[in-house]
């Protein structure tokens, strides 16, 4: 408990820094991660080599360096989430084509919004309720520490997002009284080995993927929208939404899954440094 209050004291102190100083702090974190800690260097490089066999070692090391900068910016922006105002967020985060969501809501369609661990995915989920008119929900894996768990929930729900436990996903979504909900789903997490039911080509590797987006969009009659998050300058992001499927009920098995996986792959290839390369996503690949 003491550790929690110490952590929150420093967290709030950092969150009140102006953005100019915040990113100086991020530059320092980048230096530590790259040269001192060498944070998950082997995992990152192994992932990059497997994903981009055509690139030279020099090119891959350049991507790794840029990844550290992206990752460090996400860390300081996470602290900023403690106190950032809605007005400030509107200056730093925008949705370029809200009509994608507006049109679906006018048709009475709920949405599964699919995204990856790309750019500032935390801000995306947190601020989406202020960018669309759907009621927004997201899955949450509870933390063991009840103090940090309560704080993380408070941060993510600051702007109207509602969280529900991962263990209750199907029950919650099948019984949600909201007529046009929007669910935020991460498309690139690794399923447990015992739960792998499908693999698909992704970044030059046969990759195990979750089928939740496909199964739940069919069970709940939801449209599927993929979003690309682009950092167009430091601390400023724009979201582009792409309607993948308005109606999924008659689609062949795995078409929804293959389509959203390919959509994520496309943006990673275009700007690889903004993806979360430090995660062991292919640990169950034989």
* Band of residue 41 on the pLDDT scale cut at 50, 70, 90: very high
Look at residue 286 and tell me if it is in a domain. no
Same domain for 235 and 111? yes
Same domain for 144 and 2? no
Pairing of strands 236-245, 223-233: antiparallel
Same domain for 142 and 49? no
What tokens were used for 205? 């590797």
- Whether 4 shows a pLDDT value over 80: the answer reads no
Task: Write the CB contacts of 20 (distance below 8 Å, at least 6 apart in sequence).
Answer: none
Look at residue 133 and tell me if it is in a domain. yes
Number of Cβ within 10 Å of residue 175's Cβ equals: 8
Whether the CB-CB separation of 205 and 50 falls below 8 Å is answered with yes
Picking from 56, 83, 110, the residue at the C-terminal end of a domain is 83
d(CA 171, CA 183): 14
pLDDT at 286: 62
pLDDT at 125: 94
pLDDT per position as a tens digit, 170-215: 999 999 999 999 999 998 988 888 889 999 999 999 999 999 999 9
Domain hosting residue 63, numbered range: 1-83
Mean pLDDT computed over 134-140: 94
> Strand, coil or helix: what is 79?
helix
Look at residue 192 and tell me if it is in a domain. yes
Least confident of 57-61, 62-66, 151-155, 214-218: 151-155
| Tokens 């015992």 -> residue | 194
What tokens were used for 90? 């509107």
pLDDT per position as a tens digit, 205-260: 999 999 999 999 999 999 999 999 999 999 999 999 999 999 999 999 999 999 99
d(CA 107, CA 179): 11
- Whether 284 shows a pLDDT value over 80: the answer reads no
Give 275's DSSP letter: B
State in Å, rounded, how far the first CA of the chain is from the last one: 42
d(CA 218, CA 256): 10
- Whether 274 shows a pLDDT value over 70: the answer reads yes
Same domain for 241 and 214? yes
What tokens were used for 167? 């263990």
Give 230's DSSP letter: E
Of the candidates 232, 202, 210, the residue with the CA atom closest to the CA atom of residue 91: 232
Picking from 51, 83, 115, the residue at the C-terminal end of a domain is 83
Domain count, the chain: 2
pLDDT at 100: 98
Whether the CB-CB separation of 163 and 140 falls below 8 Å is answered with yes
Same domain for 53 and 163? no
pLDDT per position as a tens digit, 139-149: 988 878 888 88
Of the candidates 125, 121, 130, 137, the residue with the CA atom closest to the CA atom of residue 91: 130
């Amino acid at each position: 408990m003491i550790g929690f209050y110490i952590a929150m004291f420093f967290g709030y102190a950092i969150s009140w820094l102006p953005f100019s100083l915040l990113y100086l702090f991020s530059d320092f974190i980048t230096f530590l991660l790259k040269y001192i800690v060498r944070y998950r260097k082997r995992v990152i490089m192994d992932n990059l080599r497997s994903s981009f066999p055509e690139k030279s070692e020099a090119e891959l090391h350049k991507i790794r360096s840029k990844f550290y900068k992206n990752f460090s910016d996400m860390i300081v922006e996470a602290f900023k989430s403690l106190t950032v105002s809605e007005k400030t967020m509107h200056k730093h985060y925008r949705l370029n084509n809200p009509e994608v969501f507006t049109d679906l809501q006018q048709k009475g369609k709920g949405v599964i919004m699919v995204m990856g661990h790309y750019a500032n995915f935390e801000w995306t989920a947190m601020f989406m309720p202020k960018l669309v008119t759907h009621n927004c929900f997201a899955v949450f894996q509870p933390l063991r520490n009840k103090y940090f768990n309560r704080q993380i929930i408070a941060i993510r729900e600051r702007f109207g997002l509602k969280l529900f436990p991962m263990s209750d996903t199907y029950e919650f979504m099948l019984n949600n009284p909201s007529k046009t909900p929007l669910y935020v789903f991460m498309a690139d997490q690794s399923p447990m080995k015992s739960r792998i039911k499908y693999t698909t080509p992704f970044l030059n590797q046969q990759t195990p993927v979750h089928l939740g987006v496909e199964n739940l969009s069919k069970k709940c009659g939801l449209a599927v929208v993929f979003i690309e998050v682009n950092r167009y300058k430091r601390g400023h992001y724009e979201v582009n939404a792409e309607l993948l499927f308005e109606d999924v009920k008659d689609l062949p098995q795995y078409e929804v899954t293959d389509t959203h996986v390919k959509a994520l792959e496309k943006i990673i290839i275009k700007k690889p440094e903004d993806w979360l390369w430090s995660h062991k996503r292919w640990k169950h690949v034989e």
